[in-house]
Amino acid sequence: MEDTFVRLLLENLNRLRLHQADLISDVKDEIQRLEKNLLLFKTFLNESTEKREILKEVIEEIVEVVYKAEDAVDVYVSQALEKETEKYFRRSPHPPAKLLDAVEEVESTAQRVQEKYEIDFSRLLTENELLIGGDASDSMPTQPQNLERNQGSSVRKDIVVGLDDVTEQIIIYLTEETEILDAISIVGLPGLGKTTVARQIFRHPRIEYEFPIRLWVSVSQVYSVKDIFLGMLRDLSWITEDMYDKTEEEIARTLHARLEKEKFLIILDDMWTTEAWDDLRRAFPIKSNKSNKILITSRLKEVGRAINPKRKCHMLRFLTPKESWSLLTYLVFGYRDSSTGETEVMQSSWKKVPKSLKTFVHSDIETRFRQIVPFSYHALPSNLKPCFLYLGMFPEDFEIPFKRLILLWIAEGYIEKKTEISLEEIAKQYLEDLISRNLVMTDKLSTTGNIKTCRVHDLIRDFCRGEASKYYFQEIHGYGGEQDAYSISYLQWMRHIAIDFNNVINLISSQPYGPRVRSILCSSREEIILLPTDVSAIADAFKLTRVLDVRSIRFTRFPFYLTQLVHLRYIALTSDFKVLPEAISKWWSIQTIIVFTSSRVLEIKADIWKMVHLRHLETNASIILCKAGAGGNGEKIQTLLNISPQSCTDDLFERAINLKKLGIRGQLTMLLDDKGGSTTFDNLGKLQQLEKLKLLNDLHIYPKEAKLPGLPPPHRFPPKLISLTLSYTLLGWEQMSILGMLENLKALKLKNDAFTGERWEAADGVLGTVRNLKHFHSAWQMYQASK
């Protein structure tokens, strides 16, 4: 999990370089030094996965200096963006470390790690490897994903027992000449040592001599072809800044041209499908050199056979009992051959194992459960651990909304972009993985059959809270007493806080101070009214906040002080205001804006198209957008709820081409007004990715003009529409025939006089289509009742 913190800072630096380069132009050298050592930390942490307990102290030191560097960078940006922050920094009893101090401390720690563990990172940390391109939130290449893992590290030393014969045989094949590019496969069950053998071959002196170019590529189940190609070019020191903007095919041709001139060995580790080979092979010259080789490892025999039908797969055998014992004693006790005395010690130790199992089996269920959870947690992949621990931020027995959870994960940076699918889809896969491991329970399903809410068992939540506290997570239950006084004072060290109590005002009046806090979640089940005079305390106390989910707090007017939180990525709040001011443009990293308001209309005066990271904009009101300025785009925007009909312009639909969820609220007849043979509704057909559409006709504002004359023909609806909600549209039942012809529609929700009339006379063929809907709310029940 610690490597996640390093990755988050690397991505943040990359985001700054791409979108706020002017802010860090004066500290460009310091940023590059910081990146270099962060890459060293990341590699070290990846290599030390199996020895976290032994290396506990050094890992804790790395996490602490990374936290300090992150604070220093964010403080530096805050100072650059907000000249008025001097007063805030003067009040700090521990002034934030200057960026240079933080960089030097990271550098010093990195040097000690390198010297102590004799790590040679000279090849990994070349200048070219620091050329990180693309948007960090969506397409940042994972480094050093495609580089051969640390060869000289003593942190994770590969142990080879009984596989020398296989290694030697493969080396013979690799040094043979063939007419065309030769592919060799190592196949075996998980844990047999495929990657270990491949590493031994990769580092073998004869292989190093024979192949001037050696590339190590980790493919795995989830991979990005473009990122793999870019990683190989980085490893060849053959990459430029403009390379990241090229297409996958263009990059493949560049790599192909580079490899044509060389004698190379490429190891493709952990390949799962033949499709992966088809994706990658176009970059490899077939006839350029008779000695070029590809070595793949896979757990699937059919993959090895498909890659080279002419060459037999090397199936790794199981170890003999003697070899197995030698490996076990080395892993457990640190040596292979045992003296008589050492053997007696081992036998004594092993006799304790069945006694421990007996104690476990006969313990009560709760005790057993508490013993199992840590094993399940430590077995999780690194990318799932922070997501799992984050579940402890929610109250006990809380129904956790699926969408809220994944948007929080994304805002925290826990979802790593590695493929062409969206961050939201990857986050969904993460949650489904946790559910499949029985660590999270599905609570409710949506109308389309997806997860709507989930929850965790109390004992699992307790574990999450306890484990997360090691990484400065904190939950505040209430206010008053010695325990809570301690909690308030401890805020200065916290990075994530969850507030589960109603008297928030008492906390704020205590003048809390959380200079390192990045996340604030308030999940109170009752609404709290916060006066404007109290809002400034939040902005002053938690200056570096990125996630502010305080939807259970009602703001009587727009909290201008919150625009000082320039690092915000996610904000959810409840209010009575009618305007989002232009000042929210200061949220340069904002991804999600959620506003629940008592107003029927919410005017947004900021140009949302210039919020380059914005993905989701949601409110229950009718949104009136300001006129878009020059520049900007909406390619990342996936959710817009609820746009007013007058804001549904051609420009909006041309910019937000990747919208997946759209709500329109207001006088819907404006969408259907004929303008020279076309209507505004016709523009919805441009939204090729739209899956969910909500149409809310506002009767209260436009009572006379409210009734819709009818629906557009089926071909004018978005082609991928799977869910449609209609409310107050006052349609005649004959219009159901149009909805019945929407081929991909799975869920139809008819609310609040969506249709009017005594009965529905279903046309031929339409009834069968409607029966195929997974969810048909209201109308089908009405039809059945009228029979």
pLDDT digits (tens, 9 = 90+) for 157-206: 455 666 777 888 888 888 888 888 888 888 887 667 787 788 888 888 88
CA-to-CA distance for 333 and 342, rounded, in angstroms? 10
* CB-based contact 190:299 (threshold 8 Å): yes
Residues 508-519: pLDDT tens digits?
777 788 889 999
As a whole number, mean pLDDT of residues 291-317 equals 84
Angle, CA of 289, 291 and 294, to the nearest 5°: 100
Task: Sketch the domain layout of the chain as residue ranges.
Answer: 1-133, 321-361, 367-462, 638-787
Higher local confidence (pLDDT), 236 or 149: 236
pLDDT of residue 568: 96
CA-to-CA distance for 9 and 36, rounded, in angstroms? 12
Quote the distance between the C-alpha of residue 664 and its chain's center.
Answer: 29
Higher local confidence (pLDDT), 4 or 149: 4
* Whole-model pTM over 0.75: no
* CB-based contact 599:622 (threshold 8 Å): no
Find which of 132-136, 432-436, 758-762 is predicted with most confidence, using mean pLDDT: 432-436
CA-to-CA distance for 21 and 27, rounded, in angstroms? 10
Residues 603-630: pLDDT tens digits?
999 999 999 999 999 999 999 999 887 7
CA-to-CA distance for 96 and 180, rounded, in angstroms? 60
* Eight-class DSSP state of 362: T
CATH topology of domain 638-787: 3.80.10
Determine which helix (DSSP H) or strand (DSSP E) holds 348, and give its type and residue range.
helix 340-361
β-partners of residue 725 are 694, 749
CA-to-CA distance for 393 and 473, rounded, in angstroms? 8
Determine which helix (DSSP H) or strand (DSSP E) holds 298, and give its type and residue range.
strand 293-298
Higher local confidence (pLDDT), 82 or 640: 640
Structure tokens at 622: 């009718």
- Of 233, 231, 305, 319, whose CA–CA distance to 271 is shortest? 305
Percentage of the chain surpassing pLDDT 90?
A: 22
Phi, psi of 410 (to 5 degrees): -65, -45
Residue 541 has pLDDT above 90, yes or no: no
Q: Which of 282-291, 701-710, 760-769 has the lowest mean pLDDT?
A: 760-769
Structure tokens at 512: 């809390």
CA-to-CA distance for 755 and 738, rounded, in angstroms? 13
Helices (H) and strands (E) in the chain, counts: 27, 26
CA-to-CA distance for 116 and 114, rounded, in angstroms? 6
Q: Give 474-498 as a DSSP string.
A: EEE--S-HHHHHHHHHGGGG-SEEE
As a whole number, mean pLDDT of residues 737-752 equals 87
Residue 420 has pLDDT above 80, yes or no: no
* Eight-class DSSP state of 401: E
CA-to-CA distance for 654 and 408, rounded, in angstroms? 28
Structure tokens at 152: 């000289």
Q: Quickly state the pLDDT bin for 693 (edges 50, 70, 90).
A: very high
pLDDT of residue 785: 38
Phi, psi of 618 (to 5 degrees): -130, 135
* CB-based contact 612:587 (threshold 8 Å): no
Residues 390-400: pLDDT tens digits?
999 998 778 89
β-partners of residue 750 are 726
Q: Give 134-157 as a DSSP string.
A: S-TTTTPPPTTTTSPP-SS-SSS-
CA-to-CA distance for 217 and 227, rounded, in angstroms? 10
CA-to-CA distance for 744 and 741, rounded, in angstroms? 9
CA-to-CA distance for 295 and 635, rounded, in angstroms? 39
CA-to-CA distance for 376 and 380, rounded, in angstroms? 7
CA-to-CA distance for 326 and 337, rounded, in angstroms? 7
Residue 268 has pLDDT above 80, yes or no: yes
Higher local confidence (pLDDT), 208 or 665: 665
Structure tokens at 437: 């491991």
CA-to-CA distance for 523 and 535, rounded, in angstroms? 18
Q: Quickly state the pLDDT bin for 484 (edges 50, 70, 90).
A: low
Q: Quickly state the pLDDT bin for 2 (edges 50, 70, 90).
A: confident
Cβ neighbours for 295, distance < 8 A, ≥ 6 positions apart: 170, 174, 183, 184, 185, 186, 198, 201, 265, 266, 267, 268
Mean pLDDT, the chain, rounded, equals 79
- Of 570, 711, 413, 564, whose CA–CA distance to 81 is shortest? 564
CA-to-CA distance for 81 and 85, rounded, in angstroms? 9
Residue 419 has pLDDT above 70, yes or no: no
Q: Quickly state the pLDDT bin for 569 (edges 50, 70, 90).
A: very high
Angle, CA of 633, 9 and 149, to the nearest 5°: 110
Residue 680 has pLDDT above 50, yes or no: yes
CATH topology of domain 367-462: Arc Repressor Mutant, subunit A (1.10.10)
Angle, CA of 112, 149 and 32, to the nearest 5°: 55
